[in-house]
Structure 1
């Protein structure tokens, strides 16, 4: 007997399909423009399928020193930032998950305080400046190395692990570091994979801090460069302070969209490898005492 589809189910399918189209169509348009000739995309001769396919935009970007330098900066910031953030978050969360640690409640209160109150942009800038971090990767990495929310979630996950594992490891003579690296971390792959993805996206999409703290544009990551490419193209001006003359002169819709796709590619490539942990890890670590 065939299952009957109700009007409600049909309506839900239609609504979800329309929402999906609003996401997919712009993405397809970006792909189409990046593989097209500038004159065709500017004249609106196509929508999501180029009349003539070309790799000129990608060949140009992959030979442009300014774009490659910003791409390298983003890779360095993302790799270093993700490694540092995971290390600090995991070690601090593990320490706070142990009820016998002296001063644990005071440390939790201080961390929780930062979830409610923030110093603001100007005090943050003054701190970074007084630490001589302006125009260095440290200006981007250190202020965002962790957050109270991330620590609380990871801590809650560690607390959910069976205490018997910790006790068995101690009986075998393991210390805190051995327990953390040999017992806790192998059992925490879902939550670690989840926050690895979170931190990677955070550092790869870094824009605001880079614009504020990095006066030397040669240290810019990819996101400020993309913003500058769009601004220069839309205003028909050239700024060698942010882009070299060759890149500014050759900006077109195909180059812009190709740059957007290349900037998205690393995160899109990594996500499938973390997906099997992400769905589970996103639901773990609910706040629990």
Structure 2
């Protein structure tokens, strides 16, 4: 979150204040639309020794460009007079960022936090690719593997009717358990972020 804030603040400046701003933004947008592919991504994570590591799961996506654009546009919508008043009072860029700007960014930071949390919580593919041992699987990857293995259970001695009932029971039970477990963290944290969510996503998406 701090990295996003430190990146979004200079990106919210005008082209005159930050000469390379437009070029850098185009690079970010290009990386948002296109990526190097699965194999280069895996090789990069392996070279950084992030296999079977929680840091690999956390840092696998690099800089979330969508969230960066959201915070940047939110800062742009704040009154310019705030920065002018801070400069008159003797505040430098760092003091303005952390003492003036940061408290005003609660809505968009709460929105980004919710997006990030839900995205990581629902992601089973990163754990499947970056974890070589089952004990290192995150919860979603583990549940996904349970569903796959249940569909491959040896049921050669069952009749067609019993096979149909066992298949429905296994799939329904595992899917219900998966949905229930996946909802708990989101339901626990969403009430605390709800009041910021709508304001953060609307104000952060108005201005390009």
TM-score range, shorter chain: 0.7 to 0.9
Structure showing greater Rg: 1
Out of 224, 247, 255, the position equivalent to 2:141 is: 224
Out of 13, 27, 44, the position equivalent to 1:98 is: 13
Q: Deviations over 1:91-143 (max 9, x none)?
A: 11111112213422332122122123211111111111122222112222223
Structure 2 CA distance for aligned equivalents of residues 255 and 122 of structure 1: 31
Q: CA deviation at 1:280?
A: 1.8
**Is it true that 1:146 corresponds to 2:78 in the alignment?**
no
Q: CA deviation at 1:147?
A: 2.3
**1:262 corresponding residue in structure 2:** 181
**2:195 corresponding residue in structure 1:** 276
**1:133 corresponding residue in structure 2:** 50
Equivalenced residue count is 191
Structure 1 CA distance for aligned equivalents of residues 32 and 176 of structure 2: 37
Structure 1 CA distance for aligned equivalents of residues 56 and 106 of structure 2: 29
Q: Deviations over 1:141-160 (max 9, x none)?
A: 22324322221221111011
Question: Is the CA contact (8 Å cut-off) linking 2:71 and 2:108 kept in structure 1?
Answer: yes
Structure 1 CA distance for aligned equivalents of residues 35 and 153 of structure 2: 39
CA RMSD after TM alignment:
2.1
SS in 2 for 1:162: coil
Identify unmatched segments of 5+ residues in structure 1. Answer: 1-85, 238-250
Identify unmatched segments of 5+ residues in structure 2. Answer: 155-168
TM-score normalised to the size of structure 1?
0.61
